[in-house]
C-alpha cells in the first residue's frame, strides 16, 4: 500500500530526531500560543503549533493530517488549579490530530472535580457560582500564552440535569503575579452560575413543614376539657424534628451560614415547645377547684384589686348594690322575684330546702329593720337579689338531681327487662343471677 508506506515514512521522518521535552519554538524568547476550551461533555480542547512537526503534503502522497500518540509529542502542562481530586494531570493516552502546517489539536476526555463554596442561605431556592481555573503548572506567560476559544463553555451536547440548571457559563483570561514568583502566570477561569431546581424540595419538604406548623395554632383552639392538647403539641414537635433531620442530611455541612428553612424550623420548634408549656399551665389552672387549691394572695392583689383599678373596672355585684342603695336605704331591691316551677314537687322541694336559709335571713332582716314600718319590711324581704340568686342555684341543683334520678330509673328498668328475657330462655343463666 503506497499510502501506508508514505505515512510510515512521514512518521519516521517527524519523530526520528524529535524531543518531546523541549518547548517547540524557534527562538527561546518566543512563547508558545496555546488555545484552550472546555466542553460540558467531559472534553478539553487544546490547540497549539509545533514548527518541528511540519511537512510538505506533496512529498508524502498528499497526506495532510495524521494521528499521533499524545505521549510522543510535547504538550502544555495545563491543569485545574482548584482541583478537588489528588490527580491534577490529564492522562495523555489519547491521540492528537497533527496537520501538515504543525497545528496540533488535542482533545482529551477528562472529568474535572473542583471545590466550590456553597451559599445555602436561601435553600432550596439558591444559586451557586462555581469556578474552574485552568493554567500551566510550570510555564509562565513568557513561555506559554494561553488564549481562550470563545467566551462561553461549549454546551452543544449538554444533557439537562434534574436538580441543577446552568444559567450562565463564561470564561475569562487572567494574568496574575503570585507572591512566590516574579513571573506573571496566565490562567483561564470558567465561571458556572447554576440554579437549583426547587420543585422536589418544595413539594416534599417546604409545604409539609408549613402545614404541620399551622397545626400548632389549633392547640389553643381546643377546649381545655379535651385531653389531646398536649398530645397534639408533642406530635407536631416530633414531626418538625424529623424534617430538621432530613434537611441536615440534604444540604452540605457548613457553619458559615444557616439556611432560612433551618431557622424557620428551629423557630417553629421553639414556638411549639413554648405552646406545650403554656398548655400545661392552662390545664393546671383549668382543673383547679376551691377544694384542691387556694388562690394565692398575689393573684388576688394583682388581678382582683390592682388591674381592675387600672382598667377602671367594677364588679357587677358592687354596681347592683349601688343601684339598689339609691332606691332603698338598706340596699333592698324593689323588683319582685318571679320563679316558675315545672311541677309542684319541685316547688315543695325548693321550699323545704330553703326553709332554714330563709328563716335565718328573715330573722336577721327583722332585726336590722326593726325601726322600719312592718309593711315596708315584709314587702321587700322577698325581693332581695341575694334571695333570687339562691333560688336560681337551688332550682339548677334540683333539675340536675331530677335528671340523674330519671337516668338511674331507666337503666334499672332496662337491666331488669334483659334479666327477665334471659331467665325465660335459660333459668340457669349466669347473667340473671
User: CA-to-CA distance for 102 and 192, rounded, in angstroms?
Assistant: 34
Split at pLDDT 50, 70, 90, the class of 408 is: low
pLDDT digits (tens, 9 = 90+) for 43-99: 788 899 999 999 888 888 888 899 998 888 998 888 888 887 766 566 667 889 999
* pLDDT recorded at residue 375: 44
pLDDT digits (tens, 9 = 90+) for 199-249: 988 888 888 888 888 888 888 788 877 777 788 888 888 888 888 888 888
User: CA-to-CA distance for 107 and 364, rounded, in angstroms?
Assistant: 116
- Answer with the residue of higher pLDDT: 151 or 324: 151
Superfamily of domain 2-196: Neurotransmitter-gated ion-channel ligand-binding domain (2.70.170.10)
Residue 16 pLDDT greater than 60, yes or no: yes
Using a 10 angstrom Cβ sphere, with 0-12 exposed, 13-18 middle and 19 or more buried, the burial of residue 14 is buried
With a pLDDT cut of 90, the percent of the chain lying above it is: 5
* pLDDT recorded at residue 428: 57
* pLDDT recorded at residue 103: 92
* pLDDT recorded at residue 195: 92
pLDDT digits (tens, 9 = 90+) for 102-139: 999 988 887 788 888 888 888 888 899 999 898 888 88
Residue 398 pLDDT greater than 80, yes or no: no
* pLDDT recorded at residue 336: 45
* pLDDT recorded at residue 326: 55
**Does the pTM of the predicted model rise above 0.85?**
no
- The arithmetic mean of pLDDT across residues 314-342, rounded, is 53
* pLDDT recorded at residue 159: 81
Residue 14 pLDDT greater than 60, yes or no: yes
Residue 414 pLDDT greater than 80, yes or no: no
Mean pLDDT across the chain: 76
Residue 396 pLDDT greater than 80, yes or no: no
pLDDT digits (tens, 9 = 90+) for 269-324: 888 888 888 888 888 888 888 777 788 888 888 888 888 888 888 776 665 566 55
pLDDT digits (tens, 9 = 90+) for 288-298: 887 777 888 88
Residue 164 pLDDT greater than 50, yes or no: yes
Amino acid at each position: 500500500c503506497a499510502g501506508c508506506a508514505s505515512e510510515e515514512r512521514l512518521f519516521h521522518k517527524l519523530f526520528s530526531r524529535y524531543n518531546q521535552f523541549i518547548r517547540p519554538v524557534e527562538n527561546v524568547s518566543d512563547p508558545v500560543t496555546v488555545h484552550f476550551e472546555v466542553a460540558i461533555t467531559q472534553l478539553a480542547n487544546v490547540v497549539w503549533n509545533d514548527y518541528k512537526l511540519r511537512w510538505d503534503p506533496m512529498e508524502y502522497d498528499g497526506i495532510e493530517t495524521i494521528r499521533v500518540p499524545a505521549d510522543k509529542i510535547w504538550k502544555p502542562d495545563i491543569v485545574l488549579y482548584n482541583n478537588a481530586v489528588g490527580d491534577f494531570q490529564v492522562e495523555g493516552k489519547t491521540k492528537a490530530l497533527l496537520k501538515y502546517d504543525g497545528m496540533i489539536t488535542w482533545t482529551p476526555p477528562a472529568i474535572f472535580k473542583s471545590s466550590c463554596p456553597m451559599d445555602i442561605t436561601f435553600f432550596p431556592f439558591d444559586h451557586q457560582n462555581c469556578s474552574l481555573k485552568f493554567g500551566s503548572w510550570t510555564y509562565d506567560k513568557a513561555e506559554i500564552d494561553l488564549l481562550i476559544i470563545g467566551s462561553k463553555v461549549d454546551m452543544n451536547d449538554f444533557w439537562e440535569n434534574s436538580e441543577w440548571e446552568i444559567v450562565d457559563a463564561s470564561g475569562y483570561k487572567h494574568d496574575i503575579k503570585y507572591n512566590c514568583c516574579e513571573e506573571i502566570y496566565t490562567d483561564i477561569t470558567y465561571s458556572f452560575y447554576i440554579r437549583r431546581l426547587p420543585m422536589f424540595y418544595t413539594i416534599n419538604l417546604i409545604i409539609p413543614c408549613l402545614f404541620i406548623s399551622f397545626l400548632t395554632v389549633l392547640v389553643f383552639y381546643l377546649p381545655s376539657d379535651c385531653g389531646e392538647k398536649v398530645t397534639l403539641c408533642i406530635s407536631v414537635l416530633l414531626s418538625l424534628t424529623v424534617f430538621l433531620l432530613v434537611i441536615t442530611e440534604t444540604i452540605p455541612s457548613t457553619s458559615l451560614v444557616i439556611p432560612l428553612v433551618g431557622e424557620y424550623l428551629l423557630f417553629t420548634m421553639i414556638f411549639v415547645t413554648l405552646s406545650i408549656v403554656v398548655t400545661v399551665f392552662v390545664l393546671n389552672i383549668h382543673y383547679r377547684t376551691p377544694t384542691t387549691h387556694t388562690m394565692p394572695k398575689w393573684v388576688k392583689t394583682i388581678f382582683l384589686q390592682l388591674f381592675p383599678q387600672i382598667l377602671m373596672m367594677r364588679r357587677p355585684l358592687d354596681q347592683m348594690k349601688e343601684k339598689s342603695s339609691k332606691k332603698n336605704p338598706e340596699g333592698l331591691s324593689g323588683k319582685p322575684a318571679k320563679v316558675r316551677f315545672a311541677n309542684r314537687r319541685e316547688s315543695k322541694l325548693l321550699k323545704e330546702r330553703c326553709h332554714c336559709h330563709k328563716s335565718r335571713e328573715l330573722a336577721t332582716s327583722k332585726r336590722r329593720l326593726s325601726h322600719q314600718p312592718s309593711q315596708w319590711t315584709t314587702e321587700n324581704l322577698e325581693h332581695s337579689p341575694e334571695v333570687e340568686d339562691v333560688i336560681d342555684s337551688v332550682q339548677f341543683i334540683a333539675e340536675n338531681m331530677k335528671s340523674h334520678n330519671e337516668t338511674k330509673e331507666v337503666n334499672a328498668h332496662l337491666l331488669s327487662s334483659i334479666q327477665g328475657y334471659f331467665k325465660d330462655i335459660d333459668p340457669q343463666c349466669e347473667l340473671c343471677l
